[in-house]
C-alpha cells in the first residue's frame, strides 16, 4: 500500500502564497522568491502536485543551475509521489540539453557520442590556432579570446555573422586583435571535426537544432514537455531564455511555464546572465494571463539581518518591488569590525569566530567567511591556522583539473570518441612512446590540410620506422579501449584502460609524498566510476539507467563545484560571495567592505555595475541565519602596495539601529571617531536611526544622477533617499569635493556629502 502523502497533507505545510504558487499550475507563472522563502519547497511541491493531478512525470521538464539542486529536488519529490519522481526530466540546462543532443546531434552534423570540452580543452584549441597563425600570445590571450567567443555564442552570433559585423571587427581592431574572427571560425570548425562541443555549444547547438527544426524536432519536444519549470531564473542568459521560449511556444501560444527567482539575487552578469530576463518576464507573457506570486516570508534569518537586506536593496534602480519579513524574532544585532589594516582584520575575525564558538556553541561548519575576491583568503587562513581552527577554501583547483585525473579521463574520452583531438594531444606520448612534439606537429599539419581529426591523419604521415611502430601501437591500444568501452560498463572499461595504458605503473615510480597523493587521486577517480556504476540513484531521464563509459564521461563533464558533497566535514568555509549563492550558515562574516574592493573598482562607475555589486552584498548578508559580522580595514596591501579606501557605501545604506555599534560614515563630516566607529561625544551621528527602513522618496526608474563635477553652490538637487535639497557650500578640490546640502525632509536638516560618491540630480 502506498504511503505517499495526499495533496491535503503536503499543502498544509505551505503558507498561503506558497500554496497558490503550487496549485496554480496552468499558464505562465512568475514566482518571485526572496532569500530563505522556501523556494525549493514550492518548486518540488508544484511538481508533485502536477503528478498528483494526473500529469505524466516525463512530461515535466525542470531546469536548474546545479546537478546537486536537481538531485535534491528529485529526492524531495519522491517523498511525496514515490518512484514517479525519477521519471521527471530534471537537471541543469547543460545536462538536460546534452541529453537531448545525444539523441538528436546527428541531425546537425555531430556524432551522438560527442565529447564535451572543458575550459582547459577550449583554451588548448585556441592556443594551438594562435600558434599556427603566428600571432602574439600576449595580445591574443586565450582566456580573452575564449570569453569573446563565449559571448558571441550566448548572443546567437555564429562565426560568419561575427566576421560580417563591422562593429565587432572595429572593437577587435581597437583591442589590437584584428584576426579574432579567424580564430573564432577555426575554433568552431575544429570542435566540429573533433566531434566536440564546449559548454556554450550545449546551449548554442540546441538552439540551432530547434531553430533549423529538422524532422520536426522542435514540435517533438514541445509536445513532450507539457510543463516547464525554471529555477534561479534571474541567472539565465539571453540564449537560455530563447531556448525556453521556443520550447513553450507551441503553435504560437505559450503554454505552461513557471519561472522561479529573485531579481535581487542576480549576480552573474560577468558570466553573461541578464537580470532583464526576470524583470521583463511579466511583460513578455502579460497577454497570456501571467500570474505572479511573491514569496516574502523569510524562514532563514532573524529580523535585524532581513531588515538590513531590505534597506540596502531599496537603493537599486530597477527591481521587482517586495518587502521581505521574518518571524524569527529580532535576533542579535549586526557586529561591525573596523580594523587598522588587513592583518588586524584577519586576527579580529579569527578572535570573533573563537568567541562565537564558545559563547554561542557553534561548530566550525556553522561559520563562513565571504569575500569579494579569492585573493583575500590568505590573511584569514593564516590566523585560522594559528588558532588551530579547521577551515577549507573553496575556489581552488578542482579534483577533475588535476593532471593525473585529466590524463586518465583523456584515455577514457578517446575510448568513446577517438576523434577527440585534445584528448589525443594529451596522451599520445604519455606514458612516453616515442611520439614527440615534432611528430605530432606533422600529424596536425596534415590534419589541418585535409580538415580531418588527428586520429584520421595519424596513419597517413610518413614517420620513421621507430615512430611508425609507436603510432601503430598507440592506435592498436585505443582500438582495444574502444571495444572494451562498448562491451563493458564504465568501471570495467575504466579499470582496464587504467592498467593497460601504463598510467598506474608510471605513477607508482614516483615514491614521493606528492607521488603518493597523485596515485591516491587516480584511485579516487576509479572509485568514483565504480560508485557511478553501482549507484541506485537514477541520473538519466530514460527508464533504463545507462552505466556506459560514455554516460559516465557526460556525467562528470557537467559537474560543478556546487555538486561536491562535503556534508560531514567540520570546517569553517572560506569562499567568494559568488560561490556562496544558495548556501546558508548560522554565522556569516562579510569582509573587506571598502570602496574599490566591495563595491569593486571595476563596477562602481556605472549605475548597472553598482546595482549588481549591491545585489552581491544583498546575497552575502542573506546567507546568515542568526549572526552577521561585517568588517573593513583602514588600509590593506593589494598588488604589492598599501592602499587606503573609505568604508563601503553599502554600510551607509543600513539603519544604525541594526548594528551593535554604528559604523563610521563613508562620506560624513567627522561626526564619528575614526577607529571605534562610535559617535564622538556630544555629536549627533549621520546614520539613520528610524525604526522603519527609509524607502526611496524618488522613483528610482526616473532618477538620473548628474555628473558630480557639474554640481555648484546654489544648485537645487534631488537625492534618492533625502528628496530635494539646496547646496549651500562646497569645499575641497577635484575628487575630494564635499558639498553641504540642506534637506528639509530630514530632522538634522543638513548633510555633508563627498560628491564623487553622491548620486544627485540637478534640478536648477
Is residue 274 annotated as part of the catalytic site, yes or no?
no
Catalytic residue among 232, 366, 404, 422: 232
**Cell 616515442 belongs to which residue?**
434
Neighbours of 140 (CB within 10 A): 21
Catalytic residue among 623, 649, 667, 751: 623
- Cross-strand pairs, 751: 741
Q: What ranges make up the beta strands (E) of 48-168?
A: 60-64, 89-92, 115-117
Between CA 436 and CA 454 the distance in angstroms is 14
**Phi and psi at residue 256, to the nearest 5°:** -90, 100
- C-alpha torsion 494→496→498→504, nearest 10: 150
Between CA 376 and CA 620 the distance in angstroms is 15
Is residue 19 annotated as part of the catalytic site, yes or no?
no
Is residue 39 annotated as part of the catalytic site, yes or no?
yes
Burial class (CB in 10 A: 0-12, 13-18, 19+), 89: buried
Instruction: Print the SS3 string covering 299-345.
Output: CCCCHHHHHHHHHHHCCCCCCCCCCCEECCCCCCCEEEEEEEEHHHH
Evaluate whether 249 touches 165 at the Cβ level (below 8 Å): no
Report which of 291, 310, 202, 249 is spatially closest to residue 621, judged by C-alpha positions. Answer: 310
Q: What is the DSSP string of 229-269?
A: EESSGGG-BHHHHHHHHHHHEETTEE-EEEEEE-GGG---G
Catalytic residue among 44, 92, 240, 265: 265
Evaluate whether 48 touches 40 at the Cβ level (below 8 Å): no
Is residue 302 annotated as part of the catalytic site, yes or no?
no
Catalytic residue among 19, 39, 406, 759: 39
Between CA 306 and CA 297 the distance in angstroms is 10
Catalytic residue among 23, 40, 492, 740: 40
**CA–CA–CA angle 563, 414, 191 (5° rounding):** 80
Is residue 232 annotated as part of the catalytic site, yes or no?
yes
Is residue 231 annotated as part of the catalytic site, yes or no?
yes
**Phi and psi at residue 187, to the nearest 5°:** -60, -45
Q: What is the DSSP letter of 594?
A: B
Three-state secondary structure call for residue 118: coil
Q: Grid coordinates standing for 85? A: 519522481
Report which of 235, 288, 258, 286 is spatially closest to residue 92, judged by C-alpha positions. Answer: 235
Alpha helices in 488-512 (DSSP H): 490-500, 503-508
Burial class (CB in 10 A: 0-12, 13-18, 19+), 710: exposed
Neighbours of 119 (CB within 10 A): 14
User: Which positions are annotated as active-site residues?
Assistant: 39-40, 231-232, 265, 623
Amino acid at each position: 500500500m502506498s504511503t505517499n502523502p495526499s495533496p491535503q497533507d503536503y499543502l498544509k505545510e505551505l503558507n498561503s502564497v506558497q500554496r497558490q504558487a503550487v496549485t496554480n499550475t496552468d499558464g505562465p507563472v512568475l514566482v518571485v522568491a526572496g532569500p530563505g522563502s522556501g523556494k525549493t519547497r514550492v518548486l518540488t511541491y508544484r511538481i508533485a502536485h502536477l503528478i498528483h493531478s494526473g500529469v505524466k512525470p516525463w512530461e515535466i521538464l525542470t531546469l536548474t543551475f546545479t546537478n546537486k539542486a536537481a538531485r535534491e529536488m528529485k529526492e524531495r519529490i519522491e517523498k511525496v509521489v514515490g518512484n514517479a519522481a525519477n521519471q521527471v526530466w530534471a537537471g541543469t540546462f547543460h545536462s538536460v540539453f546534452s541529453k537531448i543532443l545525444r539523441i538528436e546531434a546527428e541531425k546537425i552534423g555531430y556524432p551522438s557520442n560527442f565529447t564535451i570540452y572543458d575550459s582547459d580543452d577550449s583554451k588548448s584549441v585556441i592556443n594551438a590556432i594562435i600558434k599556427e597563425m603566428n600571432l602574439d600570445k600576449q595580445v591574443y590571450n586565450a582566456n580573452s579570446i575564449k570569453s569573446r567567443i563565449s559571448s558571441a555564442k550566448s548572443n546567437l552570433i555564429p562565426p560568419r555573422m561575427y566576421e560580417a559585423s563591422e562593429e565587432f571587427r572595429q572593437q577587435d581592431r581597437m583591442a589590437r586583435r584584428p584576426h579574432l574572427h579567424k580564430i573564432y571560425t577555426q575554433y568552431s570548425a575544429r570542435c566540429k571535426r573533433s566531434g566536440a562541443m564546449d559548454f556554450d555549444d550545449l546551449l548554442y547547438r540546441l538552439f540551432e537544432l530547434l531553430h533549423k527544426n529538422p524532422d520536426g524536432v522542435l514540435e517533438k519536444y514541445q509536445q513532450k514537455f507539457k510543463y516547464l519549470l525554471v529555477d534561479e531564473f534571474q541567472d539565465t542568459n539571453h540564449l537560455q531564455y530563447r531556448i525556453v521560449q521556443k520550447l513553450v511556444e507551441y503553435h504560437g501560444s505559450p503554454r505552461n511555464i513557471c519561472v522561479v527567482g529573485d531579481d535581487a539575487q542576480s549576480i552573474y552578469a560577468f558570466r553573461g546572465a541578464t537580470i532583464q530576463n526576470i524583470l521583463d518576464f511579466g511583460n513578455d507573457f502579460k497577454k497570456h494571463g501571467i500570474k505572479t506570486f511573491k514569496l516574502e516570508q523569510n524562514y532563514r534569518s532573524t529580523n535585524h539581518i532581513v531588515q538590513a537586506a531590505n534597506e540596502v536593496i531599496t537603493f537599486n534602480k530597477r527591481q521587482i518591488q517586495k518587502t521581505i519579513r521574518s518571524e524569527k524574532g529580532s535576533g542579535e544585532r549586526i557586529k561591525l569590525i573596523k580594523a587598522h589594516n588587513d592583518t588586524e582584520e584577519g586576527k579580529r575575525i579569527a578572535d570573533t569566530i573563537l568567541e562565537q564558538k564558545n559563547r554561542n556553541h557553534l561548530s566550525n561548519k556553522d561559520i563562513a567567511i565571504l569575500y569579494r575576491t579569492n585573493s583575500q583568503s590568505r590573511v584569514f587562513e593564516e590566523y585560522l591556522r594559528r588558532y588551530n581552527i579547521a577551515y577549507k577554501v573553496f575556489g581552488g583547483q578542482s579534483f577533475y583539473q588535476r593532471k593525473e585525473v585529466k590524463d586518465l579521463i583523456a584515455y577514457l574520452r578517446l575510448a568513446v570518441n577517438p576523434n577527440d583531438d585534445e584528448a589525443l594531444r594529451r596522451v599520445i606520448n604519455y606514458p612516453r612512446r616515442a611520439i614527440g612534439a615534432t611528430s605530432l606537429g606533422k600529424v596536425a599539419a596534415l590534419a589541418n590540410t585535409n580538415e580531418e581529426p588527428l586520429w584520421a591523419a595519424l596513419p597517413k604521415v610518413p614517420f620513421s620506422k621507430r615512430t611508425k611502430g609507436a603510432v601503430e601501437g598507440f592506435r592498436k591500444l585505443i582500438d582495444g579501449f574502444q571495444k572494451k568501452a562498448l562491451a563493458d560498463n564504465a568501471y570495467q572499461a575504466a579499470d582496464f584502460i587504467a592498467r593497460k595504458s601504463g598510467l598506474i605503473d608510471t605513477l607508482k615510480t614516483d615514491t614521493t609524498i606528492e607521488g603518493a597523493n597523485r596515485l591516491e587521486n587516480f584511485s579516487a577517480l576509479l572509485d568514483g566510476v565504480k560508485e557511478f556504476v553501482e549507484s541506485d540513484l537514477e541520473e538519466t531521464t530514460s527508464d533504463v539507467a545507462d552505466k556506459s563509459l560514455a554516460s559516465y564521461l557526460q556525467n562528470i563533464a557537467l559537474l560543478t563545484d556546487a555538486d561536491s558533497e562535503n556534508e560531514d566535514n567540520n570546517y569553517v568555509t572560506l569562499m567568494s560571495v559568488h560561490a556562496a549563492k544558495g548556501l546558508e550558515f548560522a554565522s556569516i562574516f562579510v569582509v573587506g567592505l571598502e570602496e574599490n574592493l566591495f563595491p569593486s573598482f571595476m563596477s562602481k562607475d556605472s549605475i548597472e555595475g553598482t546595482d549588481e555589486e549591491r545585489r552581491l552584498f544583498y546575497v552575502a548578508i542573506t546567507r546568515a541565519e542568526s549572526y552577521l559580522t561585517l568588517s573593513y580595514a583602514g588600509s590593506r596591501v593589494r598588488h604589492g602596495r598599501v592602499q587606503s579606501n573609505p568604508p563601503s557605501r553599502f554600510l551607509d545604506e543600513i539603519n544604525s539601529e541594526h548594528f551593535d555599534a554604528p559604523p563610521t560614515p563613508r562620506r560624513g563630516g567627522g561626526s564619528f571617531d575614526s577607529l571605534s566607529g562610535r559617535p564622538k561625544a556630544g555629536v549627533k551621528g549621520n546614520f539613520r536611526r528610524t525604526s522603519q527602513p527609509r524607502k526611496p522618496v524618488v522613483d528610482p526608474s526616473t532618477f538620473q544622477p548628474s555628473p558630480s563635477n557639474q554640481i555648484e553652490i546654489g544648485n537645487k538637487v534631488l537625492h534618492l533617499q533625502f528628496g530635494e535639497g539646496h547646496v549651500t557650500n562646497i569645499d575641497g578640490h577635484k575628487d575630494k569635493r564635499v558639498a553641504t546640502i540642506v534637506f528639509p525632509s530630514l530632522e538634522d536638516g543638513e548633510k555633508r556629502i563627498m560628491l564623487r560618491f553622491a548620486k544627485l540630480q540637478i534640478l536648477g
